[in-house]
Amino acid sequence: MSDNKIVIASDHAGYLLKKQLSDYLKSLNYDVLDLGVDTDAVSTDYPLKAQDLAYILKDDPKARGILICGTGIGMSIAINRYPFIRGALAYDKQTALLARQHNNANVLCLGGRTTNFDTAKELTDIFLTTPFDGGRHEKRVLELGEMK
Amino acid sequence: MSDNKIVIASDHAGYLLKKQLSDYLKSLNYDVLDLGVDTDAVSTDYPLKAQDLAYILKDDPKARGILICGTGIGMSIAINRYPFIRGALAYDKQTALLARQHNNANVLCLGGRTTNFDTAKELTDIFLTTPFDGGRHEKRVLELGEMK
């Protein structure tokens, strides 16, 4: 069931947090598709992992994504190249909440070197359970899909 | 001189911080082009302000940008639609530094409701004065410009 599907990927700097979050999400019975990386011993370019995740979400628009690099910044640049993605770098509860309520984020970007596992779990929970507010934010979110 | 040019824009939620930062940058003798908004009394869609800034930077690649909405998230989604932009949501000194050193960010995204003026000044100073590390980050930054 796509509503339950979480696609997760990282570069080497995000590997450990990705593994921890992936195990956590599986324990909550989410359908987790882990696109790697599978080691932190080999450097991997974050744009390539973001691209892999974007292609999956293009075919499965109800799935949600989590992307992790060192700070989350590289991933947030890369994933927002795609007009069907709203990728939010969240770093505390307020930004995770507003990313859903105002921006209808479908990808959460996290920093493996900036956000510890306990915080990442909290932000992920908020990201996965907070509804979009709609209303005045609806038009802006539509504009995000149509930028030229 | 384009190297000295800073283009700045916000929605209503970022208006106050934009005004403060614009005045601060002028006091440092930067060539500041302020694209508005000019009031916080009228709601303005952040994607439209990001688009305005992107068009300026497309014609003037040496200019740098600052975009402010409530959290910086909406602006970071919108501005990274453009392949010649690397827009970084920075929220502390470490993320501002790494956004330049690793991601060669040319646009700084800030949250008018999440980052106070003193912090915003610090992050802006780091953004404007920190060189790109190049090296292993060069290939990744090139990939960000060529994502399909």
Summarize the confidence of residues A71-75 as an average pLDDT. 98
Domains annotated on chain B, with CATH: 5-146 (3.40.1400.10)
Summarize the confidence of residues A42-61 as an average pLDDT. 97
Summarize the confidence of residues A64-90 as an average pLDDT. 98
Residue B137 among the catalytic residues: no
Task: Tell me the DSSP string of A58-95.
Answer: HH-TT-EEEEEESSSHHHHHHHTTSTT--EEE--SHHH
Q: Are residues A35 and A52 in contact, defined by beta-carbon separation less than 8 angstroms?
A: yes
pLDDT of residue A48: 97
| Distance of alpha carbon A128 from alpha carbon B97, whole angstroms | 30
pLDDT digits (tens, 9 = 90+) for A21-37: 999 999 999 999 999 99
The residue with tokens 């303005």 is B44
Residues of A in contact with B81 (CB under 8 A): 80-81, 83, 144, 147
Evaluate if residue B24 carries a pLDDT over 90. Answer: yes
B98 touching A, CB under 8 A?
yes
Evaluate if residue B1 carries a pLDDT over 50. Answer: no
- Test B147 with A51 for CB contact under 8 angstroms: yes
Ramachandran region of residue B55, left (φ > 0), alpha (ψ -120 to 50) or beta?
alpha
**A1 band by pLDDT with thresholds 50, 70 and 90:** very low
pLDDT of residue B3: 76
A121 touching B, CB under 8 A?
no
Percent of chain B at pLDDT > 70 equals: 99
- Test B95 with A71 for CB contact under 8 angstroms: yes
Summarize the confidence of residues A43-63 as an average pLDDT. 97
pLDDT digits (tens, 9 = 90+) for B78-97: 999 999 999 999 999 999 99
**B2 band by pLDDT with thresholds 50, 70 and 90:** low
pTM equals 0.97
Evaluate if residue A14 carries a pLDDT over 50. Answer: yes
B101 touching A, CB under 8 A?
no
pLDDT digits (tens, 9 = 90+) for B96-117: 999 999 999 999 999 999 999 9
Q: Are residues B5 and B60 in contact, defined by beta-carbon separation less than 8 angstroms?
A: yes
A133 touching B, CB under 8 A?
no
Residue A69 among the catalytic residues: yes
**A3 band by pLDDT with thresholds 50, 70 and 90:** confident
**A9 band by pLDDT with thresholds 50, 70 and 90:** very high
Name every residue whose Cβ is closer than 8 Å to that of residue A64 and which is 6 or more positions away in sequence: A5, A6, A7, A57, A106, A107, A108, A127, A128
pLDDT digits (tens, 9 = 90+) for B125-134: 999 999 999 9
**For testing contact with chain B, the best of A73, A123, A143 (most B CBs within 10 A):** A73
What DSSP character marks residue B26? H
A19 touching B, CB under 8 A?
no
**For testing contact with chain A, the best of B51, B69, B71 (most A CBs within 10 A):** B71
- Test A47 with B140 for CB contact under 8 angstroms: yes
Do the bridges between strand B64-69 and strand B107-111 make them parallel or antiparallel, or are there none, so unpaired? parallel
pLDDT of residue B48: 97
